[in-house]
Amino acid sequence: MGDSDSDRALHGPLRDMGALGFAPGEVAVVTGSGSGIGRAVALTAAKAGLTVAVWDIVPEWAAETVRLIGELGGKAVAVTVDVTDPAQVSRAWEATLPLGSCRYLVNNAGPPSMDQGPFRENLLKALGSVEDVTSQWLARCGDVAASVVSIASVAGNFQGSGKANSAFYPTAKTGIVGFTKHLATKYGGRPRANAIAPGFTLTPRTIPYLANPVVAQNVANIPMERAGFPEEVAAGVVFLLSPAASYINGVLLPVDGGMAIS
C-alpha cells in the first residue's frame, strides 16, 4: 500500500470480491482499520462495493486508509475512536450512522499480543471493547444488521502460545470466539456472527516479533512455509461478512497457512 520495497513486501494482492452480493450504499464499520489487517479489510470491503467507516485511534492512519480507498474508487470516512471508551464508541456510531445502512461490522481493534499491561485491564480492552462496540451497533442498527466478523487468533483457540504472547491475549481471543457463538445463537443469524483466526500475519505491529526465536520457529513450522499477508486474512473476513456466506453462522475460520495443525 506504500511505495517502498519493504512496504510492498508486507502485502499480497488485494482481491476483487465484488460478486459476493453486497448492495450499493451498504456500510461496513471496521475497527482498527488504520493499519495492518484492519486496513486490508477496509480496502477489500471497499473494493467489494461497500462504503467503509474507518475507525481507528490514530487519525492520521485512518485518513491514510480513506485515501487509499479513494484511489480504488471507493467511498469511506475516517472516524477517530478509542474503542475501549464506551463514550467514544457512542460518538463514533453517531458519526457513522449518516453514511447509510450500517449492516456490517468487523471487530478488529485490540492491544498488541505482547502488551505487558495489567492482565485485567488488557482483557477488558481486548474483549470488553468487542462486546461494547457490537452491543452499541445492535442497539442502533439491529433492524438492518446483517453480519459481524470478529478477529480472534490461533492463539488460545488452537495453540497455548504461552511463550509467544502475554497471558491476556489467548484468553481474550478465546473469549471473542465464545462471544461470537453467543451472538450466533442468540439472534438466530440476524445478524450472522463469525470469527477469523489469523496465524502469524505480516503487519507493522508483528514484524518486530520475528526477532523472538519462539515466534520465528512457529513461522518456520507453518506448512505453507511462510507468514500470511493481511490481504489474505481480509479476503476471509469479507467473505464471511457477505451475503455469499448466508448460511455460515457461529464459525471460527483459521486463516493461517495450516499453522493450527502444524
- Write down the pLDDT at residue 2: 42
- Write down the pLDDT at residue 206: 85
Domain count, the chain: 1
- Write down the pLDDT at residue 7: 59
Residue 260 lies in a domain: no
Residue 45 lies in a domain: yes
Residue 117 lies in a domain: yes
Q: From first to last of its 262 residues, what are the pLDDT tens digits of the chain?
A: 444 444 556 788 888 888 999 999 999 999 999 999 999 999 999 999 999 999 999 999 999 999 999 999 999 999 999 999 999 999 999 999 999 999 999 999 998 888 888 999 999 999 999 999 999 999 999 999 999 999 999 988 998 865 667 898 999 999 999 999 999 999 999 999 999 999 989 988 888 888 888 888 888 989 998 999 999 999 999 999 999 999 999 999 999 999 888 8
Residue 17 lies in a domain: no
Model's pTM, two decimal places?
Answer: 0.93
Residue 13 lies in a domain: no
Residue 185 belongs to domain with CATH number: 3.40.50.720
Residue 259 lies in a domain: no
Please indicate whether residue 187 is annotated as part of the active site.
no
Domain span at residue 29? 23-254
**Which is catalytic among the residues 169, 187, 209, 247?**
169
Residue 11 lies in a domain: no
Residue 15 lies in a domain: no
What are the residues whose beta carbons fall under 8 Å from the beta carbon of 251, sequence distance 6 or more? 194, 195, 240
